[in-house]
């Protein structure tokens, strides 16, 4: 669903009426409708202006705010939630989706938005009031209102450059719900559409990721500068010297790589040029790159372009020249960066990060690399990968300050790649209207069966200030960002730890069947089993504990009898199977739970400190009774996880002694956490997103 379906003739009439009202107000020198014009517009929407004292007392107590607002990132956003005085309270006073919900107008329809609105406190108050009065909630009126607002947005969105005047905001607050929607306060502003940017030739990202030839500018012939480190990393990651060229006058070769005098003396057009010179030299160099037409894609490594007050104006002019080049035949080169760490492309056999390989080795941790990490901050990727190499992306790209290629461009490219299953993205800010492109790409990726995990920084005022100083980005309102991006289909993390957990879970469980939200919880530690059950709720979703079938109860009882644990354990969910249970007992019970039709996913505590579990790398007390034993969890769990199509997460809650056990399981593709609470919360968030994605695909 790229564009929601709205009523035909009525919608067209509404848009025509709005256009006439905007022209009338503009002719009078105004950028907002007056009260009479507002009344006409609202009448077309099926909404009346409430006269003072005319609103029924039983409805007056519930104020709702409904609005269409132009946002720099997402264009027109439809919002609804608490109104009146409550709307002035900070969103931090409410749980997610309780104060208000938001969706990009282009990516929702009236029915979907009504479902979203039902999460809010405003709707829950309406429902409680209707129940008390013995009446139904006025869903039909609300849905009709949303449909008309979306029809208005479709005809007057600021991205519609062929429209003379576009909608900037329409605010209805408070709205009272009864036989007819009535408004006590309203405002409407309009203006001229923005200029926008030319489309980037994103097909050239393929040249960036799989270059047949790479050139580098900025390699020192005598020292170990960033350019020289990048050169060493390129060769160290397997890229052949024969396909490399260094642009450096006066040198024949550096580290065995041929040098050329200039871009003009290249023997053929480069697929990729890596620019690692001082920021001051970039401006003239970019003009040369564009004029010589010698390069398909460019990686701008230098920082400070547009990140300081002094550099913002020349950096904006540079971006303008790059944008203008896209109007040329062939689209001109695409630019990644500036302030860009670089790219790791395993299929392209190159690593252009300026981090020495000895500081960040990238061993393969998956049988098939099926994920991508996109980040505005290179350091974010470095630290994530250093702490959890099992993320193991196929591609890692640092976008920097998005002088040219944007988050939306990159995600649109990877949404089309069939080999990519999970995409993790760190966002500091969007270029104008690129948030909308980004959400379109999220929706496309999710409909194609991919998982998209997003973390956005700048969630506080000090944090937003830090973003501005780093990559010259502007961070939008966090609650609005999360609501819009989640509605598009992404999994939005709350913090760094949440991003790590969700990106890891998505990569590990992507191919598993998500049939529902009923959990099975197993552990030999009572606190852990209960802790799993206590962690099944998020702010917007709740799993339940599945009720075991009689056959499953009988099967588990037989396992307990065989393991001489039957007198110590009561079969239930969650189940505490006693510290005396060995590896086999844990996994046999886990498989029994997985095969129960009332269980959709299992979290199992593997109890590494229990004396009966083979969890040590080497046991001194019982030689051979360790993870090398064929009866250990390390050997038994991977095939068990593979043969069951439901998600299973193992928990190895213990110190450094048990790192080898956890790593050995993760190396074989088993999803492992070191804490049961984190495991269950991540699973709940993931299942919520997968179920929503399934619903989006059914509606496609």
**Confidence at residue 474, expressed as pLDDT on a 0 to 100 scale:** 37
CA distances from 374 to 341, 347, 436 (A): 11, 16, 17
Whether the predicted model's global pTM rises above the 0.85 cut:
yes
Give me the pLDDT at residue 581, please: 96
Q: Which of 194, 209, 272 minimizes the C-alpha distance to 417? A: 209
Q: Please tell me the least confidently modeled range out of 252-266, 345-359, 636-650.
A: 345-359
Q: 651 and 682 in contact (C-beta within 8 Å)?
A: no
Asked if 674 and 651 touch (Cβ cutoff 8 Å), the reply is yes
List beta partners, residue 540. Answer: none
Name the token pair of 643: 């043969």
pLDDT the model gives residue 6: 42
What average pLDDT does the structure give for the chain?
91
Largest CA distance in the chain: 91
Beta strands (DSSP E) in 192-329 are 214-217, 244-247, 253-254, 257-260, 270-275, 295-300
- Whether the per-residue pLDDT at 468 is higher than 60: the answer is no
- In the predicted structure, residue 446 carries a pLDDT above the cut 90: yes
Give the pLDDT confidence score for residue 223 in this predicted structure: 92
The stretch 132-146 carries a mean pLDDT of: 91
Q: Give residue for tokens 């392209």.
A: 348
Instruction: Enumerate domains of the chain plus CATH numbers.
Output: 8-191 (3.30.470.20), 202-508 (3.40.50.261), 512-698 (3.40.50.261)
Task: Write the DSSP string, 396-422.
Answer: EEE-TT-SSS-HHHHHHHHHT-TT--E
Q: What are 501-542's pLDDT values in tens digits?
A: 999 999 999 999 999 999 999 999 989 999 999 999 998 999
Q: Which helix (H) or strand (E) holds 198?
A: none
| Confidence band, pLDDT 50/70/90 cuts, at residue 52 | low
In the predicted structure, residue 162 carries a pLDDT above the cut 70: no
pLDDT tens-place string over residues 356-415: 888 999 999 999 999 999 999 999 999 999 999 999 999 999 999 999 999 999 999 999
**Range in 110-124, 151-165, 168-182, 609-623 the model is least confident about:** 151-165
Task: Name the percent of the chain lying above pLDDT 90.
Answer: 80
| DSSP three-state, residue 442 | helix
Confidence tier at 176 by pLDDT (50, 70, 90): confident
């Amino acid at each position: 669903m790229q564009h929601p379906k709205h009523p035909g003739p009525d919608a067209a009439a509404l848009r025509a009426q709005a256009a006439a009202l905007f022209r009338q107000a503009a002719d009078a020198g105004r950028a907002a409708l007056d009260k009479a014009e507002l009344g006409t517009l609202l009448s077309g929407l099926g909404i009346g202006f409430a006269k003072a004292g005319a609103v029924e007392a039983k409805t007056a107590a519930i104020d709702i705010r409904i609005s269409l607002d132009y946002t720099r990132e997402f264009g027109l956003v439809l919002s609804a939630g608490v109104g009146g005085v409550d709307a002035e309270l900070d969103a931090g006073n409410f749980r997610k989706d309780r104060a208000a919900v938001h969706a990009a107008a282009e990516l929702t329809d009236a029915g979907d938005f009504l479902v979203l609105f039902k999460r809010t406190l405003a709707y829950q108050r309406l429902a409680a009031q209707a129940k008390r009065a013995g009446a139904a909630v006025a869903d039909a009126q609300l849905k009709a209102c949303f449909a008309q607002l979306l029809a208005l947005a479709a005809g007057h969105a600021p991205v519609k450059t062929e429209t003379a005047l576009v909608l900037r905001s329409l605010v209805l607050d408070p709205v009272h719900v009864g036989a007819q929607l009535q408004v006590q306060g309203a405002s409407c502003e309009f203006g001229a559409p923005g200029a926008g940017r030319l489309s980037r030739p994103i097909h050239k990202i393929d040249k960036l990721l799989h270059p047949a030839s790479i050139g580098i500018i900025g390699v020192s012939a005598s020292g170990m500068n960033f350019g020289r480190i990048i050169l060493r990393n390129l060769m160290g990651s397997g890229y052949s010297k024969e396909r490399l060229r260094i642009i450096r006058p006066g040198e024949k070769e550096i580290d065995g790589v041929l040098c050329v005098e200039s871009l003009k003396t290249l023997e053929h057009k480069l697929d990729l040029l890596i620019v690692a010179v001082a920021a001051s030299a970039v401006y003239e160099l970019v003009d040369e790159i564009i004029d010589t037409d010698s390069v398909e894609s460019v990686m701008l490594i230098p920082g400070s372009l547009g990140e300081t007050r002094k550099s913002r104006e020349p950096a904006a002019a540079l971006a303008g020249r790059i944008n203008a080049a896209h109007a040329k035949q062939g689209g001109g080169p695409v630019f990644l960066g500036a302030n860009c760490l670089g790219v790791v492309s395993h299929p392209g056999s190159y690593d252009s990060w300026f981090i020495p390989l000895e500081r960040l080795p990238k061993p393969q941790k998956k049988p098939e690399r099926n994920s991508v990490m996109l980040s505005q901050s290179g350091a974010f990727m470095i630290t994530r990968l250093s702490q959890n190499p099992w993320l193991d992306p196929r591609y890692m790209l640092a976008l920097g300050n998005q002088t040219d290629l944007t988050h939306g461009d990159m995600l649109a490219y990877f949404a089309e790649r069939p080999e990519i299953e999970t995409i993790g993205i760190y966002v500091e800010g969007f270029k104008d209207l690129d948030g909308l492109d980004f959400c379109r790409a999220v929706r496309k990726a999710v409909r194609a069966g991919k998982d998209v995990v997003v973390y956005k920084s700048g969630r506080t005022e000090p944090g937003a200030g830090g973003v501005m100083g780093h990559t010259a980005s502007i961070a939008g309102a966090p609650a609005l960002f999360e609501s819009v991006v989640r509605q598009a289909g992404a999994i939005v993390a709350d913090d760094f730890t949440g991003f790590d957990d969700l990106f890891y879970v998505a990569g590990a469980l992507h191919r598993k069947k998500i049939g529902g939200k009923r959990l099975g919880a197993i552990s030999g530690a009572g606190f852990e089993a209960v802790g799993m059950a206590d962690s099944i709720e998020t702010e917007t979703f709740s799993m339940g504990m599945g009720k075991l079938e009689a056959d499953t109860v009988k099967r588990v009882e037989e396992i307990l009898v065989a393991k001489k644990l039957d007198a110590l354990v009561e079969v239930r969910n969650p189940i505490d199977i006693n510290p005396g249970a060995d590896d086999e007992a844990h996994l046999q019970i886990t498989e029994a739970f997985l095969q129960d039709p009332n269980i959709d996913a299992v979290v199992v505590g593997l109890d590494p400190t229990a004396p009966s579990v083979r969890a040590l790398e080497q046991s001194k007390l019982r030689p051979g009774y360790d993870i090398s034993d064929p009866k250990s969890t390390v050997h038994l769990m991977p095939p068990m996880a593979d043969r069951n199509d439901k998600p299973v997460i193992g928990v190895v809650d213990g110190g450094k002694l048990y790192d080898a056990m956890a790593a050995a399981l993760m190396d074989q593709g088993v999803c492992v956490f070191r804490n049961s609470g984190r495991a269950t919360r991540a699973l709940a968030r993931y299942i919520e997103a997968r179920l929503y994605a399934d619903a989006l695909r059914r509606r496609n």
